[in-house]
């Protein structure tokens, strides 16, 4: 135990012995010296108090005063120590007595000794103290004594930090209950509430009955119920309004009005908290919905920038702590043996963590395979074409295992998200759970065979001989004529080293125009600049507006084209490829015709998210498009296609 805390303990012990929190300094000094003489053998630290000098004690008392544990008082040359904890405990005991007998009045600063210094009290408006305490703030290691000022010149309340604010509210409700239990007041205020709330007579009666007969349930309803907040606010207002007519307040009147103001402060706090909880709950639901939208995978930065349908950021409607708790619970809270609803993964060579809902893993893999197929196929076709052109072969052209390795390498470089998902530790479990759940959306997706991931050629629906055929088709005809191709390979073929050396020696040709072409282009540019009109400015405004709308509609990490492709597969479910392409082109033609007419009068300022939604909804409801079943996905596609049209003006 430190010297500081030891002296504070002695101070509290002496105050208990004296039954007073206002202690004479000399009396306390004598008490400490006698205590030190008696217990110095047990605690050698008390040796500092054995001398006649009080310098050490004065230093420690100054420290206690700076910590607001005591207050030193000089009264006509007499020095006193005001022990704040003693008075705080007394006030807390008084509130305990009032809890047992609500007829007792609240303690006020006038109940303190006359010599009690005002500086020892924390004085503020009642709401400035009670609201932070209800929020769990204003916590102190040592007891604090507050003076809570109230409006309308009512006496301030003396309040101790040792008393919970909920206990103060419970006392206030008990005082109001005493008054409203009387027949004349009960019927009078019940009638006023019914008159001001026509059609809610039953609710008012239930509220009033609960308040009078069920104190515990009444307190809980005040903390949690939505409709009751308004009833409490009205009841407090009617009571204050009725007492405005009284000129001279009795002690009971003052106590009742103090209770009314305490109840109003608490009611406002709980109402605001309920609204915040509702807003937070709605925002978290929007967060969950956003996680289920394309592109389905999001890093933390993208999640932080999520917004609701009005474009208002979700972060702010809930706190960052709420977001952290949500992500932690959704990624770790496993009530059963199933995987958590939200999964995380990283791409190769990156520490960036991505989040994806369990239900979207398999559909996303199918979508990414579809997106990667064309890219990988084009890359290999061009590469093999160059090899065939130089009469070369590479292992993947003839060996299926080498071909699979090459496909894996291409997927890793061109689609890192797809590669990360295919090599994630949760993919097999996701696949198994989808099979057990018999989900129609994923039941036909089969990524495993005999417990192993199917080959990349199966995932990408790509055959080695098909790529070889496509690459050979691009060759000149004489490459496919055996005799001519053999002679060309014999005389024109060169080794890799020779071609590499030639490529290194070959000078890089700079692309340039001749003087005539430059002059012609410059002249054309000058003529085009002189013909700029207000219509061109309008186009620029529309293009700029389209980019803003695109940023709102397209999730971060995705592209406009990718989103359009994803929505096409959702609303265009025709199995025949040719018919599906014709349907898509028919829809695109309708959109283009519709936009061609609309753009004649549309300005950049009028091209907003709301405007696009209205245009798309109107077009989708036309007879030509209303027959398509997936109206929501079709509407979203129409919005994106409209943005693309305006963006490419």
3-state secondary structure of 139: coil
328-357 tens-digit pLDDT: 999 986 666 778 999 999 998 888 899 999
**Length of the chain (residues):** 649
Please give the pLDDT value at position 533: 53
Please state the pTM of the whole predicted model: 0.66
The whole-angstrom separation of Cα 519 and Cα 443 is 64
3-state secondary structure of 345: strand
Whose structure tokens read 């005493």?
Answer: 178
Span 521-541, mean pLDDT?
A: 58
Q: Is the pLDDT of residue 497 over 80?
A: no
210-240 tens-digit pLDDT: 999 998 888 888 887 666 888 999 999 999 9
Q: Give the closest residue to 433 by CA, choosing from 334, 288, 295.
A: 334
Task: Report the 3 state secondary structure along 530-548.
Answer: HCCCHHHHHHHHHHHHHHH
245-288 tens-digit pLDDT: 888 889 999 999 999 999 999 999 999 998 898 999 999 999 99
260-272 tens-digit pLDDT: 999 999 999 999 9
Structure tokens at 257: 């009005």
Q: Give the closest residue to 640 by CA, choosing from 598, 583, 605, 595.
A: 595
């Amino acid at each position: 135990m430190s010297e500081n805390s030891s002296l504070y303990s002695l101070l509290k012990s002496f105050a208990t012995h004296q039954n007073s929190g206002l202690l004479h300094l000399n009396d306390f000094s004598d008490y400490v010296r006698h205590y030190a003489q008696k217990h110095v053998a047990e605690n050698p630290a008390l040796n500092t108090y054995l001398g006649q000098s009080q310098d050490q004690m004065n230093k420690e008392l100054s420290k206690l005063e700076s910590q607001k544990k005591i207050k030193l008082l000089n009264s006509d040359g007499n020095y006193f120590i005001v022990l704040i904890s003693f008075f705080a405990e007394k006030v807390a005991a008084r509130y305990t007595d009032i809890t047992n007998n609500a007829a007792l009045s609240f303690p006020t600063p006038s109940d303190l000794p006359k010599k009690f210094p005002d500086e020892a009290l924390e004085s503020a408006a009642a709401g400035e103290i009670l609201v932070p305490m209800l929020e769990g703030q204003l916590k102190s290691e040592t007891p604090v004594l507050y003076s809570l000022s109230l409006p309308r010149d009512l006496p301030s309340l003396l309040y101790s930090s040792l008393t919970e604010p909920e206990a103060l509210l419970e006392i206030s409700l008990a005082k109001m209950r005493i008054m409203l239990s009387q027949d004349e007041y009960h019927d009078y205020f019940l009638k006023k509430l019914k008159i001001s709330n026509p059609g809610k007579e039953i609710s008012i009666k239930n509220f009033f009955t609960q308040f009078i007969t069920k104190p515990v349930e009444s307190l809980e309803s005040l903390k949690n119920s939505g409709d009751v907040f308004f009833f409490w606010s009205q009841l407090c207002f009617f009571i204050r309004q009725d007492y405005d007519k009284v000129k001279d307040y009795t002690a009971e009147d003052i106590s009742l009005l103090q209770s009314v103001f305490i109840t109003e402060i608490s009611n406002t706090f709980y109402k605001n908290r309920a609204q915040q909880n509702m807003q937070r709950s709605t925002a978290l639901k929007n967060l969950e919905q956003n996680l289920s939208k394309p592109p389905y995978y999001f890093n933390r930065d993208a999640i932080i920038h999520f917004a609701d349908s009005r474009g208002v950021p979700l972060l702010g409607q809930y706190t960052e702590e709420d977001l952290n708790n949500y992500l932690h619970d959704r990624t770790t809270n496993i009530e059963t043996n199933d995987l958590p609803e939200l999964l995380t993964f990283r791409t190769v060579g990156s520490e960036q963590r991505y989040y994806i809902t369990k239900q979207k893993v398999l559909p996303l893999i199918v979508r990414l395979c579809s997106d990667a197929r064309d890219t990988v196929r084009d890359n290999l076709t061009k590469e093999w074409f160059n090899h065939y052109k130089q009469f070369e072969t590479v292992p993947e052209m003839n060996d299926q295992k080498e071909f699979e390795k090459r496909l894996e390498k291409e997927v890793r470089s061109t689609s890192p998200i797809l590669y990360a998902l295919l090599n994630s530790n949760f993919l097999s479990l996701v696949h198994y759970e989808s099979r057990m759940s018999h989900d129609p959306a994923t039941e036909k997706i089969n990524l495993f065979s005999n417990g192993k991931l199917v080959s990349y050629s199966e995932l990408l629906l790509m055959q080695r001989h098909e790529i070889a055929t496509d690459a050979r088709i691009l060759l000149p005809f004489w490459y496919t004529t055996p005799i001519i191709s053999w002679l060309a390979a014999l005389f024109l073929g060169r080794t890799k080293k020779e071609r590499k050396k030639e490529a290194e020696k070959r000078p890089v040709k700079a692309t340039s125009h001749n003087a005539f072409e430059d002059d012609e282009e410059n002249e054309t540019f000058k003529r085009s600049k002189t013909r700029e009109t207000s219509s061109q400015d309008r186009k620029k405004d529309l293009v700029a507006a389209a980019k803003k709308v695109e940023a709102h509609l397209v999730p971060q990490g995705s592209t406009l084209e990718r989103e359009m492709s994803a929505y096409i597969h959702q609303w265009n479910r025709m199995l025949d490829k040719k018919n599906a392409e014709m349907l898509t082109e028919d829809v695109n033609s309708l959109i283009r015709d519709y936009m061609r007419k609309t753009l004649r009068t549309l300005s950049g300022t009028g091209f907003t998210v709301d405007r696009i939604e209205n245009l798309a909804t109107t077009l989708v409801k036309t007879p030509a498009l209303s027959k398509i079943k997936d109206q929501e996905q079709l509407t979203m596609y129409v919005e994106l296609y409209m943005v693309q049209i305006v963006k490419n003006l």
